[in-house]
Structure 1
Amino acid sequence: MWLIVTEKDNTARRIAGILFGRVKVRKIDGVNVYFSQDEKNAVVGLKGHIVELDYPKEYNNWSKVPLKSLLKADLVKKVKARNIAKALSQLAQKAERVTIATDYDREGELIGVEALEIIKKANPSVKADRAKYSAITPQEIKKAFSSTTKINFNLAKAAETRQIVDLMWGALLTRLLSLSSGRLGKDFLSVGRVQSPTLRFIVEREREIQQFKPTPYWEIFAEFENGEKFSAKHVKRFLKKEEAEEAFSRIGDRAVVKKYVEKDVSERRPIPFNTTEFLREAGKFMAPDKAMSIAENLYMNGYISYPRTDNTVYPPSLNLKAIVSKFLNSEFKAEAEIALSHMKPSRGKKETKDHPPIHPVEVASRKDLSKDEWRIYELVVRRFLATLAPDAVWAVRQAEIDASGEIFKATGKQLVNPGWRAIYVYYKAEESFLPGLHEGQTLKVLSKKIEEKKTKPPGRYTMSSIIKLMEKYNLGTKSTRHEILRKLYSRGYIRGNPLKPTEVAFAVIDALKKEAEVITLPDMTAKLEEDMDRIEEGKQDQKAVVNESAKFLEEVLENVNEEELGKTIREGVRKDRVVGKCPECGNDLEIRKARGRFIGCTSYPECRFTLPLPQKGRLEVTARKCDKHDMSILRIRPSKGKSWTFCPYCSYIEWKGRDGQSQG
């Protein structure tokens, strides 16, 4: 029998349908197996990793296990999907050949190798090969399975090394912070190899914003006329009001055009989508982890290519014209015609050989997809077509105007040929007006004004900008960056978008910077990413990389002052529980626990003011304040259903009013 192993069940179903035509579905140990009619071929889907690395159970007691021992422990492999492992073992006994058809990247290769080890244990003589594909379409799948290759064990080894190192870092640092601060059980503080430097970027940007002192400056604007009115700005930004007023007083009622230029300027079309660029764009209207999850579903259902890729250059083997032509009978007809009129692809700086940039492979209609699926699918389609379209062309006019020795500049922009902009509608075309002028022309000064302004602090990172920054510093990979951000949210370190760190985040980063700063720097993490590449290339040994991490973490433990670390974190945790000031005594109100959670005054027992809280759901303190009571708005995230926000004081007053009415 020929056994094919895919990463997920729906991929197995689709591949079986493409390869076998009519399919028999049978359950083995509760797992769907898709057979050809003669039962000589079978496809089975996994659930991602069915095996996981972990510490032996004797390491489970955080309080009793010495932290250093985590660095020398022999990790164990645990089967976490026993029914799938049993099904693989049973199928293996009849298999003569097994083809690993998991996603072709590091994680996918490791997932496939894990499954192969289970199969080989049941049938050591089975022959194994690899099918590589970037889209689940009949043409691509048939081609992949007719030209299988060898399994890349170095690729899997690189992914396994990452697992080992991340487990070691995560276990040691999480226990270090949690034990030193007394945050155990459900309240443990989680940190990791990539989380820590990423969180430091967010915290330090917030600190820049908090410490920023705005500087006043003055700008001069004037309105001119040559038959048509237009505005211009003085070339100088004045840091002293007196200088601005002196310049302002010199401006008379006439001005002369000193320089004037008209030119057409091309605006290059965007580059093809790799994972980072895709998540940056999708992150403008959706959480990156959600966008990736949807993209993966679209891929598995045969609508788009594999969404985890570093590539920004379409390979010559990709028939771009054939893909575009499919959209001539869709609601993207007009956009496809623009692309077909040009058909010269843009290209980015990154070119890899594993997968092409993300692109559509099949036409879908709105009724085929959910609302969110359509948004992601439309983004991918429009980006793909835009990369093949003509550049946009702007008619640009620039003028330099002399008003009694004071120089003003004005620019006009008109979009004369939208090109790719007619397709990729996510960037607004900002036009500005400037009439046709000529050098030496006299203009009438219609009005003038001085505006006082202040310098602004740097903006907070958005989902899009932090992913770009992570890529710049080699933090994480295309496949993990969105997951790191999700962890920072779920563990209460950041809120909102733009990203705002909580007091716990400040405390953790401040404590680590003081006691173990190297953990918060991107250097070691970036080096590890380079080591993974070398393992993949067969130029680096896994054991050497793991030992280097263990030695690094051992030095951290030797130099850290756990008492000071815990003290700093506890203070930050306390601040994060504060929701406002007590209306009776003016001291802090904070979230407390005693037979349930409630809000109490920090001056208890002198002050006994309290507010009730919902007892179910995860409670979060948001950055917003109630307009009436200057109290933090709280959010409840229930285990099921939508989250909701409330002011605890407003809710209490409302409840008290209702209670009073019912008693009356």
Structure 2
Amino acid sequence: MQGPTLKLLVDREREIEAFDPDDYWELFADLTKAGGTGFEAQYFYLDADGNEARRIWDESAADDAHDALAAAEGAAVEEVNRRTRTDEPPAPFNTTQFIRAASSLGYSAQRAMSIAEDLYTAGYITYPRTDNTVYPDDLDPEELLKAFSETFFGESVDELLEQDEIEPTEGDEETTDHPPIHPTGEMPTDLDDDEWEVYELVVRRFFATCAPSATWEHLRVVAGVGGEVSLPSGGERGLSLKANGKRLLEEGYHSVYPYSSADETVVPDVETGEELAVSDVHLDAKQTQPPRRYGQSRLIETMEEMGIGTKSTRHNTIEKLYDRNYVEGDPPRPTQLAKAVVEAAEEFADHIVSEEMTAQLEADMRAIAAGEKGFEEVTAESREMLEAVFEALQESREEVGDHLRKSMKADKILGPCPECGEDLLVRKSRYGSYFVGCDGYPDCEYTLPLPSTGKPLILDEECEEHGLKKVKMLAGRKTFVHGCPLCKAEEADEEADRVIGDCPECGEEEGGELAIKQLRSGSRLVGCTRYPDCDYSLPLPRRGEIEVTDEECEEHNLPHLVVHGDDDEPWELGCPICNYREFQAREANSELETVEGIGEKTAEKLAEAGVEDVEGLKEADPDDLAESVDGVSAGSVRDWQAKAD
């Protein structure tokens, strides 16, 4: 399964690399009613086939259309079309659709399934590995809904139970192995934030399948402007603008399932023949885009469509590709090693990366389970096929090995070493941190530091000054582009430390001072000048020019700092000590989150129950609090109280 899955990713990367973008232009203008209500509309024309087109592929034609529209005195409404559309609730969750929904909340396929399996083991949801999208006949949706009546979800349940009849939706897949993923009705206790978020997703998906349809009203407005413009497709075309709006008439399932977009696009009511003012005419230059990389959820859907793997193995397959350094980043991007493996397999043993072989093996196993094929027959066929693959690889093992070794090294190269000309490589120290080192070591000991946060990803973009590839540090939601490591190091070498005051740790006794420091790794901080004897430090933003002002903090006797960046408004950072304290408070969102074991979601639920700070938590009765907060036990409250002391 890893072979054909990896080939999917490599083939998509080949498409992206081979893509040659085309330039095009799109034209927009604001149309305003006499009463002052305005909306944005887009220029369109009819192409040679008579279809509406918005992209203008010739720059001179785009400029002509822009100039003609900018000179227009007004636009007349030529067409007003209203229609309603029914928005059906989603089908019940099977494994693939659950992973897709969880990915929109930021969970990888592996993490989503791991949490779901824990929830299943605890008895809160049904078995999460299923293809089924039809609830079984013995499931009474009304009874299951009532199990949530006196819980956090009570308001949504009351709304659903007001319906005359509850008929859950059904998907296309109906199997007998396991039901769709849904809550059991058992309310959880002691869930962490991630577990609660996934649990709520499953509960609300069940609610959505029991909810009524939503209804949208769509409004299309076409306005014409006097004059014509020549287009490369031939002929003279009138200047036409269109706008499409939508508004939600009946909320339906959206009221209980906030994960599906219910955003409205406002276009005011207009009448045919109405005159509208034209303003803010602007032409946007764009380029066609290459196909997008597969996100994890889309990759799993594609694997399912191609018959690669099963509901139980697909997410594990993706995780193994990460673990073995075949892919990196999110969405997954194949490494040079992955490309080399696929190239070698295509040349010497194409069965390894063929989805046909994997799909055939899966089909054979299903045939055995159904009694259509014998075990011995299938194993004999599989053995013959795998022996042929092994023999092909055995014959070419030296060529394959050499090809893979070169590719593994190519994955780490940034560019030439400025000391000796050998390759500079991203390396990992014995302590687990990353740095840039010369491939000529030990003859050449040239190194450059990298940030301590994240895993380095080498980008395609090169530094114009040094010819080194730039680096991105993958650190989850805190991922950032580090840039050229040599530029960062040179900036730090040239930047002198700026002393701003006494060190609060050792200033009085040892004379230590706080200074603004630029590190060779690209980080900045306020740190003690006696480092490493005193390691007191405060973080500073990586980007922007730091101004030391004359204003001073009364509590810490340190100057206020201002960061000037690309934005028009500078960032009033203030006293670095006060700022760091405020940052810690913001990260925690509430004082309660400073207690080990209490996350953002739990803190919100505690606040709703009247416990808003640590003092309130310490004074609360554990049994009473557990009774009023879903997902929290009295034992957890006592544990938190002990940790808060």
Q: TM-score, normalised by structure 2?
A: 0.65
Cα deviation 1:219-270 (Å, max 9, x = unaligned)? 1112212232111111231110112223334432232222211122111111
SS in 1 for 2:177: coil
SS in 2 for 1:328: coil
Q: Please give the alpha-carbon distance, in whole angstroms, between the structure 1 residues aligned to 2:429 and 2:323.
A: 24
The letter for the 2-side match of 1:266 is T
Q: Please give the alpha-carbon distance, in whole angstroms, between the structure 2 residues aligned to 1:428 and 1:443.
A: 31
Which residue of structure 1 aligns with residue 26 of structure 2?
219
C-alpha distance 569-419 of structure 1, shift in aligned 2 (>3 A) = same
| Deviation, structure 1 residue 287 | 2.1
Q: Please give the alpha-carbon distance, in whole angstroms, between the structure 2 residues aligned to 1:355 and 1:594.
A: 47
Which residue of structure 1 aligns with residue 81 of structure 2?
261
Contact map agreement 1:601 1:610 (CA 8 A) in 2:
yes
SS in 2 for 1:523: helix
C-alpha distance 348-610 of structure 1, shift in aligned 2 (>3 A) = same
| From 385, 389, 414, the counterpart of 1:556 | 389
The letter for the 1-side match of 2:203 is V
Matches within 5 A, 1:179-190: none
Contact map agreement 2:32 2:38 (CA 8 A) in 1:
yes
Cα deviation 1:599-642 (Å, max 9, x = unaligned)? 5423567744246899xx9x9643469999856467899xxxx9
Which residue of structure 2 aligns with residue 383 of structure 1?
205
Which residue of structure 1 aligns with residue 438 of structure 2?
601
Structure with higher helix content:
1
Contact map agreement 1:626 1:632 (CA 8 A) in 2:
no
SS in 2 for 1:329: coil
| From 114, 118, 131, the counterpart of 1:297 | 118
C-alpha distance 596-299 of structure 1, shift in aligned 2 (>3 A) = closer
SS in 1 for 2:31: strand
Contact map agreement 2:414 2:458 (CA 8 A) in 1:
no
SS in 1 for 2:262: coil
| Deviation, structure 1 residue 460 | 1.7
| From 410, 415, 420, the counterpart of 1:575 | 410
| From 187, 210, 216, the counterpart of 2:17 | 210
Matches within 5 A, 1:474-493: 474-493=307-326
| Deviation, structure 1 residue 499 | 1.0
SS in 2 for 1:461: coil
| Deviation, structure 1 residue 380 | 0.3
Q: Please give the alpha-carbon distance, in whole angstroms, between the structure 2 residues aligned to 1:302 and 1:233.
A: 53
Q: Please give the alpha-carbon distance, in whole angstroms, between the structure 1 residues aligned to 2:479 and 2:291.
A: 30
The letter for the 1-side match of 2:24 is Y
Which residue of structure 1 aligns with residue 90 of structure 2?
270
C-alpha distance 237-635 of structure 1, shift in aligned 2 (>3 A) = closer
| From 452, 460, 464, the counterpart of 2:297 | 464
The letter for the 1-side match of 2:409 is R
Matches within 5 A, 1:275-424: 275-284=95-104, 285-342=106-163, 343-364=166-187, 368-404=190-226, 405-424=238-257
The letter for the 2-side match of 1:232 is A
Which residue of structure 1 aligns with residue 365 of structure 2?
532
Q: TM-score, normalised by structure 1?
A: 0.63
The answer on 1:237 being equivalent to 2:44 is: no
| From 405, 410, 425, the counterpart of 1:590 | 425
C-alpha distance 626-238 of structure 1, shift in aligned 2 (>3 A) = closer
The letter for the 2-side match of 1:475 is I
Contact map agreement 1:313 1:351 (CA 8 A) in 2:
yes
SS in 2 for 1:411: strand
C-alpha distance 381-303 of structure 1, shift in aligned 2 (>3 A) = same
The letter for the 1-side match of 2:64 is E
SS in 2 for 1:347: coil
Which residue of structure 1 aligns with residue 258 of structure 2?
425
C-alpha distance 522-658 of structure 1, shift in aligned 2 (>3 A) = farther
SS in 1 for 2:367: helix
Q: CA RMSD in A?
A: 3.7
Contact map agreement 1:493 1:505 (CA 8 A) in 2:
yes
SS in 1 for 2:217: strand
Q: Please give the alpha-carbon distance, in whole angstroms, between the structure 2 residues aligned to 1:257 and 1:635.
A: 51
C-alpha distance 442-660 of structure 1, shift in aligned 2 (>3 A) = closer
| Deviation, structure 1 residue 273 | 0.3
| Deviation, structure 1 residue 540 | 0.9
The letter for the 1-side match of 2:84 is D
| From 183, 199, 205, the counterpart of 2:6 | 199
Structure 2 unaligned spans of 5+:
45-53, 227-237, 494-518, 522-526, 535-645
SS in 1 for 2:411: helix
Contact map agreement 1:576 1:621 (CA 8 A) in 2:
no
Q: Which has the higher mean CA deviation after the structures are superposed, 303-312 or 447-456?
A: 447-456
Q: Please give the alpha-carbon distance, in whole angstroms, between the structure 2 residues aligned to 1:220 and 1:449.
A: 6
The percentage of counterpart residues that share the same residue type is 39
C-alpha distance 449-643 of structure 1, shift in aligned 2 (>3 A) = closer
Q: Please give the alpha-carbon distance, in whole angstroms, between the structure 2 residues aligned to 1:634 and 1:230.
A: 41
Q: Please give the alpha-carbon distance, in whole angstroms, between the structure 2 residues aligned to 1:612 and 1:443.
A: 60
Q: Please give the alpha-carbon distance, in whole angstroms, between the structure 2 residues aligned to 1:413 and 1:346.
A: 25
Which residue of structure 2 aligns with residue 498 of structure 1?
331
Q: Please give the alpha-carbon distance, in whole angstroms, between the structure 2 residues aligned to 1:596 and 1:422.
A: 51
Q: Please give the alpha-carbon distance, in whole angstroms, between the structure 2 residues aligned to 1:635 and 1:444.
A: 49
Structure 1 unaligned spans of 5+:
1-193
Matches within 5 A, 1:590-629: 590=425, 600-603=437-440, 607-610=444-447, 621-623=456-458
Cα deviation 1:415-453 (Å, max 9, x = unaligned)? 222211111112332211111122333333234222111
Matches within 5 A, 1:151-170: none
Q: Please give the alpha-carbon distance, in whole angstroms, between the structure 2 residues aligned to 1:632 and 1:451.
A: 30
Matches within 5 A, 1:27-106: none
Matches within 5 A, 1:632-651: 632=471
C-alpha distance 248-643 of structure 1, shift in aligned 2 (>3 A) = closer
The letter for the 2-side match of 1:212 is F
The letter for the 1-side match of 2:446 is F
| Deviation, structure 1 residue 591 | 5.2
Q: Please give the alpha-carbon distance, in whole angstroms, between the structure 1 residues aligned to 2:424 and 2:194.
A: 40
Aligned length: 464
Q: Please give the alpha-carbon distance, in whole angstroms, between the structure 2 residues aligned to 1:219 and 1:202.
A: 32
| Deviation, structure 1 residue 311 | 0.4
Contact map agreement 2:473 2:479 (CA 8 A) in 1:
no
SS in 2 for 1:540: coil
SS in 2 for 1:362: coil
| Deviation, structure 1 residue 335 | 1.6
| Deviation, structure 1 residue 515 | 1.9
C-alpha distance 279-246 of structure 1, shift in aligned 2 (>3 A) = same
Q: Please give the alpha-carbon distance, in whole angstroms, between the structure 2 residues aligned to 1:603 and 1:413.
A: 63
| Deviation, structure 1 residue 277 | 0.8
Which residue of structure 2 aligns with residue 523 of structure 1?
356
